[in-house]
Amino acid sequence: MSVYRKESPLFLSQCLDSILSQTVLPDELIIIKDGPLTDELESVLSRVCFPNDLKIMALPENITQGPARAIGIEAARNAWVAVMDSDDICRPDRFEKQIEMIARNPELGLIGGQIAEFIDDPAQVLAVRKVPLNHNDIAAYARSRNPFSQMTVMLRRDLAVEAGNYRYFPCFEDYDLWVRMIKKGAICANHPDVLVDARVGSGMYERRRGVAYVGYEWKMQRQLLSLGFIGVGRFIKNLALRVPVRLMPGKLLAVMYNKLVRG
């Protein structure tokens, strides 16, 4: 996972605690410091006590999440890499369930799971975001929206690198990578259980609206079209459905998100 200076030390600490208390610990933990951090964030990282291989990599300046994650993927020594956002909380058996899933289906290359959204207390679930479970449904879903919740994803390192790895693609760096991996032949699945408690808040809706976000949305739809992942008809339909929503006031967008995205 990557960390940058505007993140909350408390949220980062809770996130790390959830990783360190897993029923199956990762073989290695890679943390990318995406530019200089605050003293408070540095203090949290200095207290990490991880019994396996710990890599904390410092970047001289902020390069944004996609390129920072790409550096982490390149540095990983394992065949499978789990992705995590630094303000979310893994369920205690997240990795155990995903490793069992891979063991049962060795052909898999990209997996995720469900998330439970919360604002302050993960015990008070606001909603569960449900994503499709099997490869065909995931591939079909991906033609109109992101079929994975990034903070639940585990991916085969070689397939991610072959597909071009994470890259600079504001707001859609994860969706962009999943589509390229699917196009390269990665077999996908989502676990039916909630694997991560994901933090949300009013700021989330503001980040997902506005003229700038419409520009990012346009770029993502152009990417789907240029890859041959969708046709012109789907391209037009996606933009017709998504662009007006991005120009709504934040409160109205929250209502639409609650009705259409959350399960």
Residue 256 has a pLDDT of 59
Write the CB contacts of 4 (distance below 8 Å, at least 6 apart in sequence).
33, 34, 35, 37, 62, 68
* Same domain for 234 and 189: no
Range of the domain at 93: 2-200
How many structural domains is the chain composed of? 2
Based on the fold, state whether residues 127 and 215 are members of the same structural domain. no
Pick the last residue of a domain from 150, 185, 200: 200
Asked if residue 185 and residue 78 are part of one domain, the reply reads yes
Q: Chunked in runs of 10, what are the mean pLDDT values of the chain (263 residues)? A: 96 97 97 98 97 97 97 97 97 98 97 96 93 98 97 98 97 97 98 97 61 91 97 95 74 58 47
**Verdict on whether the full-model pTM lies above 0.75:** yes
Any idea what the CATH number is for the domain that residue 110 is in? Answer: 3.90.550.10
Q: Are residues 168 and 218 in the same domain?
A: no
Residue 257: what pLDDT?
59
Please give the full DSSP string across 24-36, using - where no structure is assigned.
S--SEEEEEE-S-
State whether 237 and 251 are in the same domain: yes
Are 33 and 77 in the same domain?
yes
Which of 171, 200, 229 marks a domain boundary?
A: 200
Domain finish residue from 200, 222, 246: 200
pLDDT at residue 263 in the model: 42
